[in-house]
Chain A
């Protein structure tokens, strides 16, 4: 590949070697990993754990799609199917989407990006990984013991009085996972506030850090409300009390309010870090500072702030008062604006750039398109009258999969491909990874576009069997899911392959400007040989050029 097509700049493979001492080989043995305080090692632990749970959740998704291949309830029984989608939801939301980017990429990169040695509280960081596993095992335990069929929303009074499955176990798992998430967020906020390198002012921070900061605020303030709600559900279930049971004077809608007070901001916890990844990737591969840096930074914070004011749009038809519905619908429209700003700012970042199309950029383009669709269909659902027809159908399933899978997962993969050389010191196969990006994109659209149509036709979500006339679209969707599955398996293979056989990446294969690219790959245990002094803005490619030209030694 000629130099005009790509900015990838690898060292001479004949002489290049991985650095002698890195965070990976600093200490040896299993214990050195299990007791580590190093944010990079914890990030790698998370990466492995999250991948594990992702494929479990994905397996459930596959089973769901397989059952929906035919209108008849033929593959599994109804309660089994219900357990499948409940486990799919719980695992994907709490064990994959919420921690995905923050706990892996955020953990790995935030300290490096702001020029410090580690997160503020390394032990709490490790604790949050153990809590993640504890919560994950409890959730898996609920599955092994016989499953849970509440759906991930734990709707009362169904979950409290009408099911005989392991609701309390699953709720306990989610409760523990909540604390894992709280500690991650708390660590990020403190680190970003207190640990920035000299000269790293707020407006010199990469947008990746900004978006994680916004998401962390949501984690810290939102998650405890979910925790107390789940405690109440468990107590009500164990003692039959009735805070959420209308026959005993409780209000089932109170549960909805408290649940969505967390679970709507949780959507932003999931997508904001992804947006941070996209900012980095698009800037790097168009060799330009992100268009309107300040606007993008503030739109992250605005999303976090507004995110707390819109939760009742999940309840428009659930008996929330009409006036309240008006207020929440209006605020929902407002929260859509910062996302629109981001999309356009990213698009205009490309303008007058010098664009190359490496794998992370392909994923980022996928993100832009899919997130636009996902965001716009969110406006459908935020509009009160439209919501009546669309909610609780496959339209909403398609909508949040476009945002979560099309947005978040694309961003996650973009980020993994972008920082993989930094994390491991090696490059993956460029052609295979591009193939995977394209496969994922095609598979995704094939899976979820038909679901929009199904939704408008009225096919309800969480249906085990459905009327005949919906079959064609469901077959398309299942076919797409197969392609999508292949798209996700591919990176697993070539990334694993690259660990041993990939080309040596060198410090800065993409010639990116972040502090993380100025140090060796993989980094040292404490990232920098000496604390960097930051004297340039984020995404300053002229500074990088100047520095490269005058480079005597690398920083770290």
Chain B
């Protein structure tokens, strides 16, 4: 038999690239695959059972062999069996699936954070150190990476099949996903939620690098200003510091060290200050008035881009003292050169 060499090459290439099964490149992947294989096994067993029954009965009781059907009403025992066994199996699948779900969607506390903004039709990754990437993401291997993602327009979905993680990127609210890449290499990023004309162009590549390489990469590709520095600039130019100056007479609450704390609101409820809270408090301030303050903050809806919000959030996150805030206020022509970033990257 003759196979054309081109065809042969093509087939070989495809087979060697293991195109029946994606690479396992994150710590989550083996867990996901274990459940996948369990489910595959269930399917194969179930299908074999049904096929055996159907073909077995078809051969055994075909008309030639069994000209007269024998009346069988049903069997409670049998029916109970095939109610309870599938139910039990499905419940196992449910518990297993739920455990996996919480593993994937509960980021570990020590994860390094990267922001991702989705928009028609590109991914923007923003590292706290000021590295901006489009349709690309560089991450170190062996380290927990959390992505805080938001969409600027419609629903997108951030998917890295080789890591077995995916999460919808939602307009108007942060969603997170995390992974720990195990193998250096490049992997696809897909937008899997249909997002308009160029949906299929919204793809990118995640590059997992050894920690050393990653360190080198961060140094060579930084834009020069960290997100927090951008945020500080925004904080001053939007006039946030006028009220949130941290002084006793200030009209807005003190923001230094506020991140991660619990706040008492005027509505009486208590909230945890996290990224989502900070973002929403900037856009819809009246719903997040800290107890003891008047609802006088204007809304910044439509005035700050999602990137700007990320800068501000990142700035407030790292704000430990109000020293520089007040200094910016007093020396009205603030100096552009900010020497060091207040603790941006969390361990």
- The answer to whether any beta carbons of A and B sit under 8 Å apart in the complex is yes
Instruction: Spell out A's residues near B (CB within 8 Å).
Output: 4-7, 73, 78-79, 82, 149, 151, 153, 155, 157-158, 162-163, 246-247, 249, 252-253, 286-289, 291-295, 316-319, 322, 325-326, 329-330, 333-334, 336-337, 340-341, 343-345, 347-348, 350-357, 365, 368-369, 372-373, 376-377, 379-380, 382-389, 391-393, 453, 456-467, 469-473, 541-542
B157 at the interface (CB under 8 A from A): yes
Closest partner residue, chain A, to B70 (CB atom): A352
Contact in complex: A341, B171 (CB < 8 Å): no
- Which of B32, B66, B157 meets A317, CB within 8 Å? B157
**10 further contact pairs, Cβ within 8 A, besides A155-B154, A373-B47:** A5-B63, A82-B194, A333-B91, A334-B87, A340-B83, A350-B53, A354-B69, A380-B39, A385-B99, A392-B157
Contact in complex: B74, A291 (CB < 8 Å): yes
B63 contact set on A, CB distance < 8 A: 4-7, 354-356
Contact in complex: B69, A388 (CB < 8 Å): no
Chain A interface: which of B54-62, B232-240, B259-267? B54-62
Contact in complex: A162, B154 (CB < 8 Å): yes
Contact in complex: A385, B74 (CB < 8 Å): no
- Which of A149, A158, A344, A458 meets B190, CB within 8 Å? A458
Contact in complex: A78, B57 (CB < 8 Å): no
Contact in complex: A389, B164 (CB < 8 Å): yes
Q: What are 7 A-B pairs at a CB distance below 8 A?
A: A246-B171, A286-B69, A288-B70, A329-B98, A334-B90, A372-B50, A462-B200
Contact in complex: A149, B72 (CB < 8 Å): no
Closest partner residue, chain A, to B83 (CB atom): A341
Contact in complex: A289, B90 (CB < 8 Å): no
- Which of B61, B161, B198, B284 meets A286, CB within 8 Å? B61
A317 contact set on B, CB distance < 8 A: 157, 166-168
| Chain B: interface residue total (CB-CB under 8 A) | 92
Contact in complex: A319, B66 (CB < 8 Å): no
- Which of B93, B154, B161, B168 meets A333, CB within 8 Å? B93
Contact in complex: B86, A353 (CB < 8 Å): no
Instruction: List the 3 shortest-distance A-B pairs measured between CB atoms, nearest first.
Output: A385-B100, A458-B161, A246-B172
B68 contact set on A, CB distance < 8 A: 287, 354
Q: Tell me the minimal C-beta distance from A546 to chain B in angstroms.
A: 14
Contact in complex: B66, A388 (CB < 8 Å): no
Please, how many angstroms separate the alpha-carbon atoms of A184 and B35 in the complex? 42
B6 at the interface (CB under 8 A from A): no
Closest partner residue, chain B, to A6 (CB atom): B63
Q: A354-B63, A458-B159, A466-B200 are in contact. Are A373 and B191 (CB under 8 A)?
A: no
Please, how many angstroms separate the alpha-carbon atoms of A326 and B161 in the complex? 23
Contact in complex: B50, A458 (CB < 8 Å): no
Please, how many angstroms separate the alpha-carbon atoms of A159 and B73 in the complex? 53
The B77-91 residues at the A interface (CB cut-off 8 A) are 78-79, 82-83, 86-87, 90-91
Closest partner residue, chain A, to B82 (CB atom): A344
Contact in complex: B104, A385 (CB < 8 Å): yes
Q: Tell me the minimal C-beta distance from B201 to chain A in angstroms.
A: 7
B172 contact set on A, CB distance < 8 A: 246-247, 252
Closest partner residue, chain A, to B99 (CB atom): A385
B153 contact set on A, CB distance < 8 A: 157, 162
Contact in complex: B192, A461 (CB < 8 Å): yes
Chain B 168-205 against A: per-residue CB contact (8 Å), 1 yes, 0 no? Answer: 10111101000000000000101111111111110100
Please, how many angstroms separate the alpha-carbon atoms of A214 and B252 in the complex? 59
B99 contact set on A, CB distance < 8 A: 385
Contact in complex: B82, A341 (CB < 8 Å): yes
Q: Tell me the minimal C-beta distance from B164 to chain A in angstroms.
A: 5
Contact in complex: A392, B39 (CB < 8 Å): no
Contact in complex: B199, A82 (CB < 8 Å): yes
- Which of A158, A343, A373, A383 meets B194, CB within 8 Å? A158
- Which of A73, A372, A388 meets B101, CB within 8 Å? A388
Chain A interface: which of B19-27, B125-133, B308-316, B339-347? B19-27
Contact in complex: A386, B83 (CB < 8 Å): no
A391 contact set on B, CB distance < 8 A: 166, 192
Contact in complex: B166, A347 (CB < 8 Å): no
B199 contact set on A, CB distance < 8 A: 78, 82, 462-464
Q: Tell me the minimal C-beta distance from B301 to chain A in angstroms.
A: 7
Q: Tell me the minimal C-beta distance from B34 to chain A in angstroms.
A: 10
A472 contact set on B, CB distance < 8 A: 10-11, 14, 19
Please, how many angstroms separate the alpha-carbon atoms of A318 and B171 in the complex? 11
B50 contact set on A, CB distance < 8 A: 343-344, 347, 368-369, 372
B67 contact set on A, CB distance < 8 A: 4, 354
- Which of B69, B79, B94, B103 meets A330, CB within 8 Å? B94
Please, how many angstroms separate the alpha-carbon atoms of A468 and B200 in the complex? 13
Contact in complex: A319, B170 (CB < 8 Å): yes
Q: Tell me the minimal C-beta distance from A248 to chain B in angstroms.
A: 9
- Which of A163, A341, A344, A353 meets B69, CB within 8 Å? A353
- Which of A333, A337, A372, A471 meets B83, CB within 8 Å? A337
